[in-house]
Amino acid sequence: MIRSVGLRNATILDIGAGIGVIDHELLDDVADHAVLVDASAPALDAARDEARRRGHLDRLEFVDGDFVAQAGAIDRAQVVTLDRVLCCYPDVAALVRMSASRARTLYGLVLPRDRSTIRLGLRLLNVWFRVRGLAYRSYAHSNEVVDSLVADAGLRVRMEAGTYFWRVVLYDRPATTT
């Protein structure tokens, strides 16, 4: 979806970047620079290794930690992405508000669809995590609330796709006339 917009020399802010798959792909033809934010130091280490292998290391910045806690120190970018991040974060309002405000042009999300079967499945998964003694929890935030928060940040849905479970949506910031 991002490629279809026709951006060139873009800057990327990838929140919950993991090993940087989105960034490495976009650095090949759409982007000049990317900032990867992830709370997992091992994931960022793997992203650095992949960046070295692909020759992208000089075009990447790595931020280790919770984006919401560090958002004030992170610059805006043309494109902000969160791929399967909202389902891992309890305070969806803070995460969406802060991340959407960083998007100058495009804002891409992959999040669970708002379906009763998905909400039930994630509740059962959370019971299993609790029984296993794991602190991790999954969340099925309301898609309507997410869309409203994104709209409040001045972005609108540009295109949407997905699967039964995942909703893939690209928002854009309308050009202002001056």
Q: Is residue 8 part of a domain?
A: yes
Could you tell me the CATH number of the domain that includes residue 50?
3.40.50.150
Give residue 16's domain range.
Answer: 3-113+140-172
* Within a domain: 124: no
Q: Provide mean pLDDT across the span 155-173.
A: 97
178, pLDDT greater than 70:
no
User: What is the C-alpha separation between 159 and 131, in angstroms, rounded?
Assistant: 39
Q: Is residue 48 part of a domain?
A: yes
Is 131 within a domain? no
Count of structural domains within the chain: 1
Tokens 């759409």 belong to which residue? 30
Any domain includes 55: yes
Task: Calculate mean pLDDT across residues 35-63.
Answer: 96
The pTM assigned to this predicted structure is: 0.94
**Number of Cβ atoms within 10 Å of the Cβ of 132:** 8
- pLDDT of 10-29, one tens digit each? 999 999 999 999 999 999 99
